[in-house]
């Protein structure tokens, strides 16, 4: 009799457990897995939402890689150039600010809130602020450059300056990365710094031999997330530049959006989405593969 009650209780626990997990499982299936499967099928079809999908095999992928879709390589180039500039710039800036915010100083909580504030501002509002700041005619930045007797810049409106301008704008919003770095810095035991001081180490020795190795796992996480986010940059092109000037900021995801919702070519857009997915997958796997050479953990496990 006791055995039957135990079985019933175990079954009831399983039902309750699956009941609590069901919203997350259904959310993943409905909003992630099913759309991915459908996009994989549509990538092999000629499909514009209105008509029934027509299976064409790998025609969309061939059109992308052979240059028949001319904007594909332009958008890939713009995105790669942006990622090369943005990822290290964001990591270095966020890490430096986190080091400063980790110091014992007055009004530390205020400064932490101040540097995180840009992350919670609406993207559209902050973009319009940057448009005003970087206006080539009356913007604050060109006013400062003129006052310093330096040449003015076209910023978002110049082919050579648009990507650095977007990178500079992105640095302003690295508050979440700073918070993650700050959490990693606060997790470093102070005994390591004390031991190094006893051995005669200076500030550089502390940074190189303690801080950097102990923060490497946090750096690893921010690097992976930074690469993924940089390859999916969209808002700046959509709100500010619309891919210009002369396709210099035609980012990959913005181009994907144009194919899907402006040109109504869902088949081509789905093919581009799967190419991006595979590229992100390969780059992430590469970073994970190399992490055992430079990521260290407190327990000694690499």
User: For residue 168, what is the domain's CATH number?
Assistant: 1.10.3720.10
The string of pLDDT tens digits covering residues 150-182 is 999 999 999 999 999 999 999 988 999 999 999
More confident residue, 7 or 125: 125
For residues 25-53, give the mean pLDDT.
92
Cross-strand bridge partners of residue 55: 45
Residue 300 lies in a domain: no
Shared domain for 105 and 212, answered yes or no, is yes
Nearest alpha carbon to residue 180 among 212, 221, 208: 221
pLDDT at res. 302: 47
Q: Which residues form the domain of 4?
A: 1-42
Q: Are 253 and 234 in contact (CB under 8 A)?
A: yes
Residue 48 lies in a domain: no
The string of pLDDT tens digits covering residues 282-299 is 999 999 999 988 998 765
- Per-residue pLDDT band for 1 (boundaries 50, 70, 90) equals very low
Q: Is the pLDDT of residue 192 over 50?
A: yes
Q: Please give the Cα distance from 115 to 97 (Å, whole number).
A: 8
Residue 184 lies in a domain: yes
pLDDT at res. 15: 87
199 φ/ψ angles, rounded to the nearest 5 degrees: -80, 0
The secondary structure of 216-227 as a DSSP string is: HHHHHHHHHHHH
Residue 110 lies in a domain: yes
**What is the average pLDDT score of the chain?**
90
For residues 70-89, give the mean pLDDT.
95
Shared domain for 32 and 80, answered yes or no, is no
Shared domain for 117 and 20, answered yes or no, is no
| Distance in Å from the first CA to the final CA of the chain | 51
141: tokens are 């930045």
Shared domain for 108 and 20, answered yes or no, is no
Q: Is the pLDDT of residue 262 over 50?
A: yes
Shared domain for 19 and 95, answered yes or no, is no
Shared domain for 64 and 111, answered yes or no, is yes
Q: Is the pLDDT of residue 6 over 70?
A: no
Q: Is the pLDDT of residue 26 over 50?
A: yes
Residue 27 lies in a domain: yes
235: tokens are 């808002």
Cite the beta strand spans of the chain per DSSP E.
45-46, 54-55
Q: Are 98 and 181 in contact (CB under 8 A)?
A: yes
Shared domain for 118 and 203, answered yes or no, is yes
Whole-angstrom CA distances from 84 to 39, 80, 90, 145 are: 28, 6, 11, 26
pLDDT at res. 190: 87
Q: Please give the Cα distance from 275 to 278 (Å, whole number).
A: 5
Whole-angstrom CA distances from 126 to 22, 117, 169 are: 37, 11, 9
- Per-residue pLDDT band for 225 (boundaries 50, 70, 90) equals very high
Contact residues for 59 (Cβ-Cβ < 8 A; gap 6+): 46
Q: Residue 4: enclosing H or E segment and its boundaries? A: helix 2-28
Q: Output DSSP code: residue 46.
A: E
pLDDT at res. 43: 94
Shared domain for 104 and 160, answered yes or no, is yes
For residues 121-139, give the mean pLDDT.
90
Q: Is the pLDDT of residue 137 over 80?
A: yes
Specify the pTM: 0.89
Percent of the chain with pLDDT over 70: 96
Shared domain for 25 and 102, answered yes or no, is no
Shared domain for 98 and 216, answered yes or no, is yes
Q: Is the pLDDT of residue 7 over 90?
A: no
Nearest alpha carbon to residue 233 among 162, 166, 293, 300: 166
Cross-strand bridge partners of residue 54: 46
**SS3 state at 246:** coil
For residues 232-259, give the mean pLDDT.
93
Residue 190 lies in a domain: yes
Q: Are 42 and 267 in contact (CB under 8 A)?
A: yes
- Per-residue pLDDT band for 131 (boundaries 50, 70, 90) equals very high
Cite the beta strand spans of 76-227 per DSSP E.
none
Whole-angstrom CA distances from 77 to 56, 84, 252, 255, 274 are: 27, 11, 9, 12, 17
Whole-angstrom CA distances from 40 to 30, 37, 130, 250, 261 are: 15, 5, 38, 24, 18
pLDDT at res. 13: 84
For residues 95-99, give the mean pLDDT.
95
Residue 147 lies in a domain: yes
pLDDT at res. 298: 63
Number of domains in the chain: 2
Shared domain for 33 and 141, answered yes or no, is no
Shared domain for 163 and 195, answered yes or no, is yes
């Amino acid at each position: 009799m006791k055995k039957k009650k135990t079985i019933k209780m175990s079954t009831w626990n399983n039902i309750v457990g699956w009941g609590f997990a069901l919203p997350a499982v259904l959310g993943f299936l409905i909003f992630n897995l099913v759309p991915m499967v459908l996009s994989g099928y549509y990538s092999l079809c000629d499909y514009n939402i209105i008509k029934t999908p027509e299976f064409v095999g790998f025609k969309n992928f061939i059109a992308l890689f052979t240059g028949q879709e001319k904007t594909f390589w332009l958008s890939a180039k713009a995105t790669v150039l942006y990622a090369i500039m943005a990822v290290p710039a964001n990591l270095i800036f966020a890490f430096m600010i986190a080091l400063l915010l980790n110091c014992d100083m007055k009004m530390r909580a205020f400064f932490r809130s101040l540097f995180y504030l840009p992350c919670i501002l609406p993207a559209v509002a902050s973009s319009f602020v940057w448009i005003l700041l970087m206006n080539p005619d009356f913007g604050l930045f060109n006013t400062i450059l003129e006052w310093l007797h330096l040449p003015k810049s076209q910023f978002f409106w110049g082919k050579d300056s648009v990507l650095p301008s977007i990178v500079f704008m992105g640095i302003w919003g690295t508050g979440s990365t700073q918070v993650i770095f700050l959490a990693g810095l606060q997790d470093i035991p102070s005994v390591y710094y004390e031991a190094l001081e006893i051995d005669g180490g200076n500030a550089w020795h502390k940074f190189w031999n303690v801080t950097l190795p102990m923060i490497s796992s946090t750096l690893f996480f921010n690097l992976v997330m930074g690469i993924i986010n940089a390859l999916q940059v969209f808002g700046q092109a959509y709100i500010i530049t619309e891919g210009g000037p002369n396709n210099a900021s035609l980012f990959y995801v913005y181009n994907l959006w144009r194919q899907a919702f402006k040109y109504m070519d869902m088949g081509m857009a789905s093919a581009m989405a799967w190419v991006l997915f595979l590229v992100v997958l390969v780059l992430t796997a590469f970073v994970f593969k190399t992490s055992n050479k430079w990521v260290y953990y407190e327990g000694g496990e690499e």
